[in-house]
Structure 1
Amino acid sequence: MRWFLSLLSGVLFGAGLALSGMMNPARVRGFLDIFGDWDPTLAFVMGGAVIVMAIAWAIQRRITSPATDAKFHLPGTRDLDPRLIGGSALFGIGWGLAGLCPGPAIASLATSLVPAAIFVAAMLAGMLLFRLTEQREGF
């Protein structure tokens, strides 16, 4: 049952990305082009996501455990530190240059294999590089 709900969630997320146009790098770059031909579509997608997430958090507070696990595994809060700020900046720069972030990139493997595969390969290489340096530096 758990694998089925995970698969269903992934398919629903991918369908939402496709339907909203967020798998299209030109749409993302259009949103970031505030002094040119600005495309506000991404703002509406983000606003919709915030509303859905606010409802989900409100429901989660009233539930003692999720349907497929004994307890919720929620992230804790963290202070702003140089790693968080640097990682956020690096993510934003990559997102602006490529027009993709991890979720849409993986979903794009189904529609535009070669460009998405190049992005996903670079993303995985960056994750591996981080893991290697994190172990060495003791972050």
Structure 2
Amino acid sequence: MKQVAGYYPKIPSPCLCLNIRRASRAVTEFYERILEPSGLKITQYSLLRHLQQLEPVTISELAKTMRIDRTTLNRNMKPLITVGLIAVNTGEDPRSRQVSLTEAGKSALNTASTLWDEAQASLHQYLGDQEVEQFNYLVSKLEALLP
């Protein structure tokens, strides 16, 4: 398990948005350092994990579930399509597209999942049970700003 090196409280900004963005960047970098051997970014890992749970799924349904717009999803999917981790095929309606994991995508996800578990456990240990519970409550409350 990856140990988090110390606790270095930053001086918070009076702007809550800035504080959240700074924390988000730090957490993203933390996960990406641990995921690096898998070759996946945390956004790619999340996309593959969602696909695993939903496949086959239309691009619109996937974007809605991930709470991102279709343009962002399409941009994030392109490198995964290029390296053969996901496939996009015609859906039931010829105008729709369905996305699914390839065998290579399933393999990459399995490798990355072990590393993600390590990052998750390290962050959980760093924060502690009570702070993780508080964090999850606050993040859910903030997400509810946009239904």
After TM superposition, the score normalised by the length of structure 2 is 0.28
Considering fraction of residues, name the structure with more strand. Answer: 2
After TM superposition, the score normalised by the length of structure 1 is 0.29
Considering fraction of residues, name the structure with more helix. Answer: 1
